[in-house]
Amino acid sequence: MAVSEEKIRTFVAIDLPAEVKSFLEGVTRDLKKTGADVKWARPEGTHLTLKFLGNVDRELVSHIDAQLRPMFAQVRPFVIGVGSLGGFPSLNRPRVIWVGVHDGDGSLQPAVRQVESLLEPLGFEPEKRPFSPHLTLGRVRSNRGIRELVEEVRQRIDLTGPRFSADHATLFQSILKPSGAEYRPLAAFPFSGN
């Protein structure tokens, strides 16, 4: 009997409440008016990625769950603020336009480091770049309209958005489709702070 080697594209993230997604939709709508050549993210699918895992064997999902569930159970719910606009690698030559994420009590960075540490024994390489929490609004495809886009972002750089309580993380499957990625939850990890 052959062993199934089905691979699925996965990541660990904090999903966003409707209020935040609505805010992002408004920001995106305003930035689209610049006419810049950007592949805009669908606000309903936006999330705060903690760790992108890539293509993994479906059978590994239960091991990922077993590693992360006890750790996330130790995390207390915490407040995340959404605000500020920017671009990666820089606003002078952006490839990605993003909205910043701020967590007031500092819970996010340690949680991400623990996720990295717990998943390394399962074969997931730790991220070499420092964790920079953000919500991707869009990916720049060409220089068409880039000057206008950068100017609009600069005018709104100190943008302030809603705050929300993060009370769980989710292991998602990302299904790539011509219409855009579809995200399917595979496991939820409640933050109970025990």
Count Cβ atoms below 10 Å from residue 87 Cβ, excluding itself. 21
SS3 state of residue 81: strand
SS (H, E, C) 110-179: HHHHHHHHHHHHHCCCCCCCCCCCEEEEEEECCCCCHHHHHHHHHHCCCCEEEEEEECEEEEEEEECCCC
Q: Which residues on neighbouring strands pair with residue 59, listed in sequence order?
A: none
Q: Which two tokens stand for residue 176?
A: 């790539």
Catalytic-labelled residue, pool 63, 102, 134, 168: 134
Q: How far apart are CA 21 and CA 29, in angstroms?
A: 12
Number of H helices, E strands in the chain: 4, 9
The H or E element containing residue 101 is strand 96-103
Can 63 be counted among the known catalytic residues? no
Type of residue numbered 187: A
Residues that are catalytic: 47, 134
